[in-house]
Amino acid sequence: MKRPLIIGLFCLSLLIPLAAQAAIETYDFQTPAQEALYKDLIAELRCLVCQNQNIADSNAELAQDLRRKTHELIMAGKSREEITTYMVQRYGDFVLYQPPLKPQTALLWVGPFLILGLGLFVLIRVIRQRSREATGANINQAQREQAERLLQGDRHD
């Protein structure tokens, strides 16, 4: 009974050094406004290594560097626009989760609506075509008379 407990505690004690290895970045700010700006910016900037994470959530080295640089720029008195401009000049529009509307990015903004419109157009065409087919078969008078004779023949049998 004691043996499994001792083995379990020993295994748990092996995990303690792993927790010590986790680095938590802490930055000091002069005002709460600077800290709020920092949190907003690191949530808006994309990690270029992970691509589907912002730099706040990423553990990549580049994300750490971007967080450090963001902190430095805030402490240097730079505004949100200046910091964003710096990051875009250095890493391109991809660093922003919401790229600006420019000729190069217009398809990113308009594309989903075009695809939705095309899908609705196709859906309406298919529905109309099926409703036309269901309302009346395209048969000539001779075919109609033949069908009526067949139906009358089934009734007399």
**Which stretches of the chain drop beneath a pLDDT of 70?**
1, 11, 15-24, 134-138, 154-157
**What pLDDT score does 131 carry?**
80
CA 154 to centroid of chain Cα atoms? 62
Specify the pLDDT at position 73: 95
Residue ranges covered by each domain of the chain: 25-95, 106-156
- pLDDT attached to residue 123: 95
pTM score, whole prediction: 0.56
The pLDDT tens digits for 102-148 are 887 788 788 899 999 999 999 999 998 888 776 656 678 888 888 88
* Contact predicate 50/61, CB 8 Å: no
Superfamily name and number for 25-95: Cytochrome C biogenesis protein (1.10.8.640)
HSE toward the beta carbon, residue 137, CA cutoff 13 A: 6
C-alpha 47/C-alpha 84 separation (Å) is 14
Tell me what pLDDT residue 93 has.
85
- The DSSP result for the chain, as a single string, is -HHHHHHHHHHHHHHHHHHHH--------SSHHHHHHHHHHHHHBBPTTTSSSBTTT--SHHHHHHHHHHHHHHHTT--HHHHHHHHHHHH-GGGBSS----TTTHHHHHHHHHHHHHHHHHHHHHHHHHHHHHH-----HHHHHHHHHHHHHHHH-
